[in-house]
Amino acid sequence: MAEIKNIGVYTSGGDSPGMNSAIRAVVRTALYYNLEVTGIRRGYEGMITGDLFPMDRKSVANIVQRGGTILKTARSEEFRTPEGRQKAYKQLKRYGVDALVGIGGDGTFTGAKVFSNEFGIPIVGLPGTIDNDLQGTDFTIGYDTAINTVVEAVDKIRDTAESHDRLFIVEVMGRDSGLIALRTGIASGAEAILIPETKTNIEALYHRLEQGRRDKSSKILIVAEGDEAGGAFEIGRLVKEKYPNYDTRVSVLGHMQRGGHPTCMDRVLASRVGVAAVEALMHGHSHEMIGVINGQISYTPFESAIKHNVEVDANLLRIVDILSL
C-alpha cells in the first residue's frame, strides 16, 4: 500500500451532533502526524463537483461544541452511478487526496465500499447517525445528544399534560430503528413505547391506557416514526376513536432531535474514533467503520456495519413493561 500523504474528510447523509468534534479530531490527528488534510463539502456531491479545500488547525478551531457539520452534508444521486463516481475520483486526484474518512451512516458506508472497490482508495468510516443503528459500535455519534434532547422535550410536554389531564402521543425519529424511542421512553416514564422492531398490539395498548386511566392524570406514549402501526398520527386517530372522551394530543418532535450542542459523551466518542480513523489509515486499514465496543476501539467491515440487524435489548423491553404500571 502506498504511503498516505493527504486525507480527505467528509460528512454525508443526515447530520448528527458531534460530527464537528469528529472532523476536528481527524484534522488535528492528521496534522499531528505531518499529513495534509482536505475538507470535502456536501459529501459525495461535493466530491463530484470539486468542492474541496485544504484544512489546517484553525479550520477546526472552536467547533467541538457546535452541532451540525461545518463541512455541510447532502445526498447525491449522481454518486450512485459509475459516471458520478469517476468524476469524484478525478477530483480527488486533482487535489492529491489519497485516503478518505467518511462520517455518516449506512448510506455513507455503502457508497464508500463501492467507491473504494472501484478505485482502490483507502476509506474508513465514523458512525455519525442519531439512530444508533449500526453494527460495530455500542453508540453512534449523535445518539446520546438526540436522546437527551428528546427527554428534555418530553419532560416539558409532561408538565402541560399533567396540568390538563391529557394524553400525549409523541413521535420521535427512527424510521428503521426504535432505539431512540426505547431509551427515551424509559427515561421519561412513558406509559407505552411503540417501535419498528416489535409488532404493535393495539388491544394491549388500549389495556395499558385503561390501567393508567384510574390513577394517572397524564399519559405519554412514545412512538418511533417507523412503527408499523403508522406513526403518532395514526395511533392518535385509533386512540381517539376508542376513547373519544380522552383529551388526546399528538406532538412530532422532528428535526430538533438532530440539532443542539453535542453532549460530553458524543464529543468524547467522536474524538476517540476520529483519532483512531487517521491511525487506522496509516496502518493500512480500509473498508472499515471505526467504533467503540465495551470501551475499546473496534474495526468493523462496512458490509457488517450496515446490515441493519441491531437487536433490541430484550431486557429494556422487559423494563418498559414493569415500569409502565
Binding residues, as ranges, are 14, 24-28, 75-76, 105-108, 129-131, 158, 166, 173-175, 189-191, 216-218, 225, 249, 255-258
Please give the distance of CA 303 from its chain centroid, rounded to a whole number: 18
Q: Which of 131, 144, 227, 266 is catalytic?
A: 131
Torsion, Cα of 63, 67, 69, 72 (10° steps): -130
What is the residue whose three cell numbers read 474528510? 9
Distance separating alpha carbons of residues 251 and 31, to the nearest angstrom:
46
| Binding-site annotation, residues for ATP | 14, 75-76, 105-108
Torsion, Cα of 235, 238, 244, 249 (10° steps): 20
51 noted as active-site residue: no
94 CB burial (10 A radius; 0-12, 13-18, 19+): exposed
Distance separating alpha carbons of residues 15 and 233, to the nearest angstrom:
25
| Binding-site annotation, residues for Mg(2+) | 106
| Binding-site annotation, residues for substrate | 129-131, 166, 173-175, 225, 249, 255-258
Distance separating alpha carbons of residues 265 and 270, to the nearest angstrom:
9
Catalytic residues: 131
